[in-house]
Amino acid sequence: MEPREMERLLQPKMAEIRRYLIRLGAGDADAEDIVQDTVYKALLYLEAIDERKFSAWLYKVAINRYFDYCRRSRRYSYSGGEEVDEHPGHEQDQPEAVLLRRERKEEIEGVLARLNPVNKQLILLKYEMELSYKEISALLGISESTVKASLYRARQQFQQLYGGEGE
């Protein structure tokens, strides 16, 4: 694969992984460092990586680097990232709706910050990244049934912390 083609393929994936790392709790600079390490490893082991599993391999390397970073720094804090209005425009004339949505988002972010890191990761992969059980299974290197059972427990913990009102 030519360098330009590699860059074209890697750039959007790396931006996606960076956003995911920030959602997991990495700071902007840490997420960028982890992404750079991931690209470096990808280039080192390019010949050995199965093309069909390349995306999952990138995620796995980045997630492992993030958890290594967490273990080293002894923190699992949530940094929040920048706030993005997911529904711009149509509710601008309804400030109450915007305020209520923002408050609910803050509540959910607070609950996510209190989840154990594995449960937070599973919930983000399934509901924010919208990955299937099969994709999560390949990404984490565990069986689909383990993903389903673990995600069930993650949802239970989320609902318990949210006050039993989870969807």
The whole-number pLDDT of residue 88 equals 43
The pLDDT value given to residue 164: 59
Mean pLDDT of the chain: 79
How far apart, in whole angstroms, are the C-alpha atoms of residue 99 and residue 136?
33
Task: Grade residue 102 by pLDDT with cuts at 50, 70 and 90.
Answer: confident
Q: How far is CA 40 from the centre of its chain?
A: 20
Q: Which CATH architecture has domain 95-162?
A: Orthogonal Bundle (1.10)
The token pair that represents 100 in the structure block? 């209520």
Query: Averaged over 120-141, what is the pLDDT?
Result: 85
pLDDT of residue 91: 45
Domain ranges of the chain: 3-73, 95-162
Alpha helices in the chain (DSSP H): 3-24, 28-44, 54-73, 95-114, 117-123, 133-140, 144-162
Same fold for the domain at 3-73 and the one at 95-162?
no
CATH number of 3-73: 1.10.1740
What pTM did the predictor assign?
Answer: 0.56
133-140 and 54-73 helices, crossing angle to 10°: 60
What's the rounded mean pLDDT across residues 126-131? 82
